[in-house]
Amino acid sequence: MSMVFETEIIHEKQKAIVISKKNYSFLDGLKARLQKASVEYFFSSRAPNNLKIFDYCFLINEGLNADIIKKYPEKKIIFILLSQKGKVPHDFKYRNAKVVSVQGTHLEESDIDKILWFAFSKTSEDFLKLAPKSLAKPGFEATRKFDWKRFTTRKFIFLTIIFLVFIYHTLFVVPLLISAAATWASYNRLKKEDIARSENSLQTAGFYLKLTKRLYSLPRPTFRLLGFALFVDNAVDLLERGQTVMVEVVSLTKNGKQLASLLFAKNKTATVKSDVALRLTLANRSLDVISENLAVMAENLPARFRLVDAIELLTKSEKILDYFQTIVSSPIQKKYLIFFANNRELRPGGGFLGSFGILRMADYTIEGLEVYDVYDADGQLTVKVDPPQPIAEFLNQPYWFLRDSNFSPDFLENYERALFFLEKEMNLSGFDGSILITTSAIENILSPFGDLHVSDYKETVNAQNFYLKTQFQVERDFFPGSTQKRNFLSSLINQIFINLDRVSFADLGSMIKKSLDEKQIVAYVEDKGVQSFLDSTFWSGRVIEPKCNIQENCIIDFVFPYDANLGANKANYFVNKNLYLKTSVDADGKISHVLSIQYKNSSPSLVFPTGLYRNYFQVLLPKDSFVESVTKNGVLVEDIDQADDVYKRVGFFFEVAPKETVEIKINYSLSRYVSSQKEIYQFIIQKQIGAPNSDFVLELKPASNIQVLNQNFSPIVKGREIVYNTSLSTDKIFLIELVKQ
């Protein structure tokens, strides 16, 4: 095996050191040029003890040191003298040394190239004098002259014109964005009830909006020519309307707080009454302006902003305020009956009537709410009134009283019956309307107030502890005729009125609307126009008359389940209810239902106020429907009450023990069939007054020859089945277009 020898030639780089006490600006350029010439660069602020390893030595402003030249005769020494006057001595002649004299301290790239050429060349010249072109004055550091030619080229002039035109047409965008940001800040501060800072933000927003409009007026003709003006016009208009809305909301909030205190003031002077009247008018005007501007904004903004819902609420608020202004300004006293229904002991009309009150107002004054215990009234009843059969049988009450009078699911019927009892018991009459408020509604209303201190009882009451605190005060040492419940509720209501001026009206209004929508508050008034409005908003607690106003070919279906706790306890606090309606349409077009209702009683024991849930259940169905069977946990229920009037009413009694679940199933069918023509199947399910929100599942399974063409909800489709999950928080109306092929 032979060995191969290879010879590698290694070129060692030359080394150069730059010695300078100052870090001049041109040193980076010198370094770059040396490295480009394959010379390894070193820098030091003072001369090292040994320079043998370096091939070149550049000394900047270090003076003409002959000792270094003599010590290293084989090295090339270059002296660079900056801004130094005088000449090089005539006797300064060394073979390995060269001198560069620079006027000033600034070197151009071309100057550095000359120095390096001078240093590396073998020329016999040993002195180079440089005067950089950029030097302003001899003896001072050079500065670059302003090059006007760069700014007079065609390209620069063209780009400058384009830039100025762009700025001219877009300068308005900056104040527009600032105005929008300030408007948004005002909105967020208003939500936190920070009125002062909200107004400050609005002032800022208004200033920049005016500036925007002035700046935009200049390029607008160009935008119109190019077809862009409509977009910008809409943006400016939306912002302006948004600010108008905010101004009116702030005004409405401040005005409302003043009204809250003025309306409850007694013995008003004529001046104060005029002030109240003016403030009510201004509040109405603010609602008009807000509604008008939101209506325009809704046409130009996406649906996710939910302005349509806000407009609907404003329309309702205007009608309520109109009615309130009419009754509070009347010199004739208006009187309203207020029912407090405990929906922890649920009854068909909302809950056990433990208390009631009378609200009086006249001549721009809310005179107050006088609260009564229902047992005070019932103790004065001198006539004997037969109760409904379930009350007599399962509650073991031989006579009927006001406290049990709300046994209908229709609030108007209950109100009229309550008027009968109150006239017989306390000779009370002449009411202009009535409002029923459940325990859940009071909790909703209390939530914006936070903690309320009821000084008479040394209690702190809030939405979370209201029910327990009230029960404690009511049940402690209770006896028929005792006044502790009336007194406690009166003190609490008084605290609510006192604290109206510090509460967030937006939050309070939201909670009242929630209670109305979820049927925790229902109302009836004698004014037919206002009552028609309450009926249309489903705030009146009426049973809906099953009729179809859409078209002639319409199949009407209706179900209204409701409960009556006849256990004399508060078990509904622990009862959870879920509803499931399975609807099938066979090949002949027959519509059949299985209504399943599951009751779960989470009561910990049989001890009051929890315990056995003794429920008289009733359900309203279409009058011409046919009930095939009723079961409880799969066992047929035979003892059923049925009645046919406007609706078919089915009722029966059952119990749910603590920690147990009961499932009720009702099988029924409609008499009308789906025909070969397109028909609207209208299904209505109503929620009971005072009932908690329940899960509701609607399942529709048509036969293969029954086609579902359309519906007013978004279901889950499983083959030929459609399933819709929702919460029964209010009355629901489902519209389904069907046709039999």
Q: What's the CA gap between 263 and 246, in Å, rounded?
A: 25
pLDDT at 36 over 80: yes
Q: Which residue has the tokens 């107050």?
A: 368
- What band does 50 get if pLDDT is binned at 50, 70 and 90? confident
Share of the chain above pLDDT 70, in %: 93
Give the pLDDT score at 133: 63
Q: What's the CA gap between 532 and 317, in Å, rounded?
A: 15
Give the residue from 41, 42, 45 showing the smallest Cα distance to 20: 45
Give the N- to C-terminal CA distance of the chain in Å, as an integer: 98
Among 464-478, 542-556, 613-627, the minimum mean pLDDT is found in 464-478
DSSP per-residue string spanning 296-310: HHHHHS-GGG-HHHH
| 111-115, 473-477, 565-569: range with highest mean pLDDT | 565-569
CATH class assigned to 14-145: alpha beta
From residue 142, alpha-carbon distances to 111, 137, 574, 675 in Å are 13, 7, 91, 101
**How does 514-548 read in b/e, with b if 16+ C-beta sit within 10 Å?**
bbbebbbbbbbbeeeebbebbeebbbbbbbbebeb
Q: For residue 223, what are its two tokens?
A: 């935008």
Q: Which residues pair with 560 in a beta bridge?
A: 620
Of residues 625 and 84, the one with the higher pLDDT is 625
Give the pLDDT score at 9: 41
pLDDT at 40 over 50: yes
Give the pLDDT score at 542: 96
- What band does 138 get if pLDDT is binned at 50, 70 and 90? very low
Mean pLDDT within 47-60: 84
Q: Which residues pair with 435 in a beta bridge?
A: 338, 523
Exposure on the CB side of residue 491, measured as CA atoms within 13 A:
20
Q: Which helix (H) or strand (E) holds 660?
A: strand 660-669
Give the pLDDT score at 642: 93
Give the pLDDT score at 10: 43
Give the residue from 508, 549, 527 showing the smallest Cα distance to 432: 527
Among 85-89, 96-100, 591-595, the minimum mean pLDDT is found in 85-89
Q: What's the CA gap between 46 and 26, in Å, rounded?
A: 18
- CB–CB of 575/442 below 8 Å? no
Q: What's the CA gap between 473 and 535, in Å, rounded?
A: 36
Assigned fold of 334-536: Aminopeptidase (3.40.630)
- What band does 550 get if pLDDT is binned at 50, 70 and 90? low
Q: For residue 611, what are its two tokens?
A: 């315990």
pLDDT in tens, 275-300: 999 999 999 999 999 999 998 888 88
- What band does 684 get if pLDDT is binned at 50, 70 and 90? very high
10 Å CB burial of residue 568 (0-12, 13-18, 19+) is: middle
Give the residue from 489, 463, 454 showing the smallest Cα distance to 374: 489
Q: What's the CA gap between 356 and 486, in Å, rounded?
A: 9
Q: For residue 300, what are its two tokens?
A: 């130009």
Of residues 138 and 533, the one with the higher pLDDT is 533
Domain boundaries, the chain: 14-145, 158-328, 334-536, 554-740
Give the residue from 234, 178, 253, 246 showing the smallest Cα distance to 208: 178
- The answer regarding whether domain 554-740 maps to CATH 2.60.40.3680 reads yes
User: What is the strand order of the sheet 56-60 is part of?
Assistant: 39-44, 14-19, 56-60, 76-82, 97-102, 127-130
SS3 291: helix
